[in-house]
Amino acid sequence: MTTPTSAPHANLAVTGTIGIDTIEAPTGRAEEVLGGSCTYFSAAASFYGPVRMVAAVGDDFPASGHAAIMRFPNIDTAGLEVRAGSKTFRWGGKYRVDMNSRDTLFTELGVLAEKPPTVPQSFRDSRLVFLANSHPAVQAELLSAFTNRTLAVADTMDLWINTARQELMRLLKMVNGLVLNYDEAELFTGKRNPVTAARHILDMGPRFVIVKKGEHGCILVHADGVCSLPAYPTETVVDPTGCGDTFAGGVMGALAATKAADPGSFESVRKAIVHGTVIASFTIEAFSLDRLVKLTKPEIDSRYQDYVNMVRV
């Protein structure tokens, strides 16, 4: 099986952040580069078909950032608001030697401290919706605009688990799936075992939970089954920023492109996770979106086949 084609398919929309990042890593430093959950997700999903972007930036958003987004022709930016007098979200982080953990150096919320962007009327018939990391109350508000949705998946993080737990629990009753990493799953549930933690989250509403384990792959815990998949053994590790969002973009993009009758089924999500894993393995090879803007479908197909051969028993 190769990458699904980018023929017209069920509409996929994503809400989240677009930002400017400054990254320090053992491999170097990248200053004022394009980042944000919505950015990485959209870039990855665009390899599988059209994706509708809902986000906001300030009028200080550089032309180079807009140009980089437009290099992915399948991204529909009709939902990208450029707000006069506002500042674009900025984040700075420093990775430790093992590249598995990082410290936040600064966060400038900018437009994230303002009202959420408006979902364009032309986007509201989207069937698949991904709520990239944001305050769960904002995610819920944006989700309510997509009245035609058949699959809604959310991402979250430790900040919201600690500060907006009740809002997050309400959101879980509205979505079909949740994506989070293993330490967030433990923080949220108090369960150290990721499978046990994910099953606990299923009781809160979602049909499935994907627990990301970084270089150790991920675990899918679904109402209809469980599977564990390794990460692709990437040799070139430059910058892990955005890998989780890219992973989600590959998963949701593949689900949209296959036009499955039930995109949230165990088998559909299990297969889509392979695509997310492969796309994420490219992101890590360079800072920002530098690797993705050069990525080709033949490269994706080749690595996909390598991965399938690697995990075949």
DSSP class of residue 95 equals E
Phi-psi sector, 110: left (phi>0), alpha (psi -120 to 50), beta? left
Contacts within 8 Å (CB) and 24+ apart, 210-213: 210/177, 210/178, 210/179, 210/180, 210/251, 210/269, 210/273, 211/180, 211/181, 211/182, 211/185, 212/179, 212/180, 212/181, 212/182, 212/244, 212/247, 213/181, 213/182
CA distance 61 to 57: 6
pLDDT value for 15: 97
What's the CATH fold of domain 12-311? UDP-N-acetylmuramoyl-L-alanine:D-glutamate ligase (3.40.1190)
**SS3 (DSSP) at 221:** strand
Every domain of the chain and the residues it spans: 12-311
Sequence-separated (6 or more) residues with CB below 8 Å from residue 12: 45, 49, 50, 51, 52, 126, 127, 128, 129, 130, 252, 253, 256
pLDDT value for 10: 53
| Strand ranges (E), 84-119 | 89-95, 102-108
> Is residue 246 within 8 Å of 283, Cβ to Cβ?
yes
C-alpha closest to that of 246 among 15, 46, 99, 44: 44
pLDDT value for 292: 96
C-alpha closest to that of 20 among 31, 29, 6, 9: 31
CA distance 187 to 172: 16
CA distance 228 to 217: 8
Write down the H helix ranges in the chain. Answer: 37-45, 63-70, 136-143, 158-163, 165-172, 182-189, 194-202, 243-258, 266-283, 297-311
Instruction: Give the chain's residues under pLDDT 70.
Output: 1-10, 313
Q: Which amino acid belongs to residue 306?
A: D
pLDDT value for 6: 41
- Angle of helix 37-45 relative to helix 243-258, nearest 10 degrees, comes to 40
- Angle of helix 165-172 relative to helix 136-143, nearest 10 degrees, comes to 30
Instruction: Write out pLDDT tens, residues 217-232.
Output: 999 999 999 999 999 9
> Is residue 307 within 8 Å of 232, Cβ to Cβ?
yes
**Residues 215, 218, 224: CA angle, nearest 5 degrees:** 170
CA distance 4 to 183: 32
